[in-house]
Structure 1
Amino acid sequence: MQDGLLRNSAWIKEISSLYDRNQVAHWLSRIKYPGNWSADNVGHFEPTLDNLCLLQRLQIVAFAFENTAMHYTSHHSMDISLPALYQRLVVEGKGSYCFGMSTLFLQMIRALGYRVYSGSGRINTASANSPPKFLSFVHEILFVQPIQGSNITYVVDAGGGGSCMTRPILLKNGAKVMGATPSEWHTLVRTGRVESSLATSSYYTEPAEVEWHLVVSHASESGPPSTRILYSFIEDEFFTVDYECSNIGIYTGAWAAKEPLFMENIVCARCFWLSDEEMELELAKNNPYETTECDIYSAGGIPQWDRSLMSRYLGRLGLYTNELRRHIGTRSETLKVFHTELERIAILREFFGIDITPAELENIRGRRPALELP
């Protein structure tokens, strides 16, 4: 199989978006894509690979990966319908988790002329440097063919959160891209499971390589780097009903026995751009990671720092139980510690743009993540 191709060398069709041009223009403005966008000029957008990368990076900075609606709304659900996502993210500036973030991104880039479909992955819940423990299909990813007249395919994860990808990666065994900074890398591995019923031949010697692993590695301030499989995925196309079923399982707690993260916690994470001063510190610190001229979408190239958003490194903010932490490269610091709901919602408002009203605050009372309430 040629590198970068889907199985059977499949092509992705160009499909109309379910969002209109006015909504797309508002999304471009919300994520701060350069230029002045309106319904009249959205049709002039150039659907290139570099522009896809910039869109992905802008989205994970603009919107938080979060589940606050599960606990602070009266319905205690995560609405991933297209009207609800547009209202929550584009109009209100709040966030969602992978189903919401990637569904919004899918429809928006379709409107910009990209050929794209959505797939699904199995999250690995095991810790770093440990054998994987996969959930069912509870993650959404995208397959994009951004080159005109070509079926070369890239994987895009626009969900944000955790050790999220920050740029597209070529669908190729061994493809490697930089993460938030040069201390973080994502690698694609084509593989098969030992327990799989599929084999490479009638002799049953090796499992058939019918799935992919996205592997993340992190450098450490001291000691060896850590490596972890973030998730596995297959190339099949998944549809709205698939995500709706998985989504219900998450926000109702049906999956909690296997993965209690969302039921037991207020999850909130967001990427941010490093300042020029922070960039200089990271560049000096990461002197071993010299800028290379190789492909940044498959061969581990590091963009030359030119003060553009394509070359600027990212940091991450995240809520962890009762503290807000800030991560840049291998460094991590606690910004705030909180013990009450009033303290938490103040942090959600200040750092993540999520406003929880006093009336909504009552909805978390009695739920597992609830802190001290007035």
Structure 2
Amino acid sequence: MTSRPTYSEQQLELYLERIGYSTSGGRLQNLRQNIDQDALGTLGELQRRHIAAIPWGNSALHYSQHHTNSLNPKWMFEKMVSRRHDGYCMESTGMFLIVLRSLGYTVYPTAGRVSHAAVKGVDDGLYLAFNHMVLIVCIQGEKYMADVGFGNNCATSPLPLQEFATAAFIAPSEMRLVKESIAEFENPSQKVWIYQVRYNPDSAWLPQFCFSDIEFLPQDFEVMNFSVSQSRTSMFIKTVICTRMLLSLDGSEVKGQCVMAGREVKRRIRGQTEVLETLQSEGDRVAALAKYFDMHFHEDEIQGIQGMTSEII
């Protein structure tokens, strides 16, 4: 049987420090006790703190000399924990997978297709190719979707694989799963899980991505990662994107998000959007990444964006 990578006790301690889990001593020991007592509630707290601490973004494709992303466990840990940088879905969720496995959760990854509604703003019922990682966590005989890598519409808590199980997203928004066929299937009897959000109780549910509960393998994600990070049509190589969720003071809920896209940095709190800064230069953007996302780059990394279409000039 092929072994799956895990992180050491020391790495887990550093990860918990990175996401701000428990300020008292014995983080890892306390966490394991919490998992024994309430595995689902603890999973929810880990997911919530992860998306608030580790930004979702694609900085390495722009601010580097190599312009690549790796799914190597050591690379991901160094990048997102030691360097405190961002990661996109297969990196952030890929590391979260290894963390959960190391903590004893029964978990496996599957792949998702992102909807046109999410990437183009047009709900035409169509989806892109497989390009997203989703986790299925099994707790006491039930399956839950966990995701820490879907940007500003990322699920803020685990969702049971149950139809129409609506949960709070970022108030007044809500999220849910439905199980339906999609327009491009030739056999409409085939059904997949569809993650949907709506921005208030009066608005329409919008599909974000669809997935099945079939396990995908590391080599599958290597192919997806190469396509997403290197294809000339990928949005990830056209612009610099960064998002971080914002927690309430007691850390019990996600209250909003800070988003940088193009030349603007915005903060959204409970449905209200405020422009924090308009970026006029690369210097402005590098400073904004440090100020709002606590991401700091070496000089050679900053120089890596020169000549790219994403450079602010």
Q: Same fold (TM over 0.5)?
A: yes
Please list the CA deviations of residues 88-110 of structure 1 after superposition, one character each: whole Å capped at 9, or x if unmatched.
11112111001011111111111
Contiguous gaps of at least 5 residues in structure 2: none
Query: Which residue of 2 is the match for residue 267 of structure 1?
Result: 241
TM superposition shift of 1:197: 3.1
Please list the CA deviations of residues 198-255 of structure 1 after superposition, one character each: whole Å capped at 9, or x if unmatched.
3xxxxxxxx21431111110029xxx5243110011111012111111111111125x
Query: Which residue of 2 is the match for residue 353 of structure 1?
Result: 294
1:1-374 map, 5 Å = 18-34=6-22, 35-37=24-26, 44=33, 46-47=35-36, 48-126=39-117, 127-128=120-121, 130-146=123-139, 150-181=140-171, 183-198=172-187, 207-219=188-200, 224-254=202-232, 256=233, 260-275=234-249, 308-310=250-252, 312-372=253-313
Aligned residues of 1:24 and 1:108 also touching (Cα < 8 A): yes
TM superposition shift of 1:46: 1.8
TM superposition shift of 1:357: 2.6
Q: Secondary structure at the match of 1:232?
A: strand
Aligned residues of 2:196 and 2:207 also touching (Cα < 8 A): yes
Counterparts in 2 of 1:264 and 1:195: CA distance versus 1, 3 Å:
closer
TM superposition shift of 1:195: 3.6
Contiguous gaps of at least 5 residues in structure 1: 1-14, 199-206, 276-307
Q: Secondary structure at the match of 1:116?
A: strand
TM superposition shift of 1:160: 4.7
Counterparts in 2 of 1:83 and 1:209: CA distance versus 1, 3 Å:
same
Query: Which residue of 2 is the match for residue 6 of structure 1?
Result: none
Q: Aligned partner of 1:33: which letter?
A: Y
Distance in structure 2 (CA, Å) of the matches to 1:103 and 1:44: 24
Counterparts in 2 of 1:38 and 1:318: CA distance versus 1, 3 Å:
closer
Aligned residues of 1:174 and 1:188 also touching (Cα < 8 A): yes
Aligned residues of 1:340 and 1:371 also touching (Cα < 8 A): yes
Bigger helix share: 2
Counterparts in 2 of 1:132 and 1:29: CA distance versus 1, 3 Å:
same
Aligned residues of 1:118 and 1:238 also touching (Cα < 8 A): yes
Distance in structure 2 (CA, Å) of the matches to 1:136 and 1:37: 43
Q: Aligned partner of 2:251: which letter?
A: L
TM superposition shift of 1:21: 1.5
Bigger mean CA deviation after superposition, 153-162 or 116-125:
153-162
Q: Aligned partner of 1:264: which letter?
A: K
Counterparts in 2 of 1:16 and 1:81: CA distance versus 1, 3 Å:
closer
TM superposition shift of 1:138: 0.4
Aligned residues of 1:22 and 1:39 also touching (Cα < 8 A): no
Distance in structure 2 (CA, Å) of the matches to 1:357 and 1:371: 18
Distance in structure 2 (CA, Å) of the matches to 1:16 and 1:251: 24
Aligned residues of 2:5 and 2:73 also touching (Cα < 8 A): no
Aligned residues of 1:17 and 1:108 also touching (Cα < 8 A): no
Equivalent pairs counted in the alignment come to 306
Aligned residues of 1:45 and 1:112 also touching (Cα < 8 A): no
Aligned residues of 1:60 and 1:160 also touching (Cα < 8 A): no
TM superposition shift of 1:16: 6.5
Bigger strand share: 2
Please list the CA deviations of residues 17-55 of structure 1 after superposition, one character each: whole Å capped at 9, or x if unmatched.
521111111111211111434677765452510000000
TM superposition shift of 1:309: 2.5
Q: Secondary structure at the match of 2:153?
A: coil
Distance in structure 2 (CA, Å) of the matches to 1:210 and 1:107: 29
Q: Secondary structure at the match of 2:216?
A: coil
Query: Percent identity among equivalent residues?
Result: 25
Distance in structure 1 (CA, Å) of the matches to 2:91 and 2:76: 6
Distance in structure 1 (CA, Å) of the matches to 2:229 and 2:4: 30
Q: Secondary structure at the match of 2:310?
A: coil
